[in-house]
Amino acid sequence: MAEVLLFHHSLGLTEGVGAFADGLRRAGHVVHLPDLYGGRTFPDLETAAGFVREVGFDVLVARGERAAEGLPTGIVYAGFSLGVLPAQKLAQSRPGAAGALLFGACVPPLTFGAAWPQDVPAQVHAMDADPYFVGDGDLEAARELVAGAVDRELFLYPGSAHLFAELGAPEYAPEAAALCIERVLCFLAAVTG
């Protein structure tokens, strides 16, 4: 059994993010699902982006760090899109991280002031034509993250959806999502085994 701290994307803590967490729970894992927005959700990425700019990335990352306080150190940090920022920072800077799961985003490891820790495995999942992932530099950051590492992997799925693994999202891609979840469950089994 793994313990996971999962951060939502810019739309907020949606039912789809909750459904993803519930799938991990049904597989026997403990999942913490903090709400970085205090209950707010948004109908589309454009509206959500305005809110994120207003609040600030640093504030949201700090909220993510506070969500980790009191949790054990040997956990997996996970995030969808915007949620990758606190997940990646915690995986890189909080001692004892068991791993990282990054969905639809990745930033260069030096963004958080240090190289990726050699003992922290990771998976990055995204669609190969997702304009946010490919066009905003995340693909290059993900390739940098996994380069030369046997325990860090980049999985690209065919398509252009950004929230492809979120049940109920307009861009949900069932086949890609099923393969993503299968790979995530294998990852969680490996980090706890």
Nearest-angstrom CA–CA distance, 131 and 152: 23
Could you list the mean pLDDT of each consecutive 10-residue stretch along the chain, which spans 193 residues? Answer: 96 95 96 96 90 92 95 95 96 95 95 91 98 95 93 97 90 95 97 83
For the domain made up of 3-192, the CATH class stated in words is alpha beta
Closest CA relative to residue 101, chosen from 67, 128, 76, 138: 76
Task: Report domain extents, the chain.
Answer: 3-192
Q: What is the pLDDT of residue 168?
A: 82
Closest residue by Cα to residue 14 from 29, 35, 30: 35
pTM: 0.96
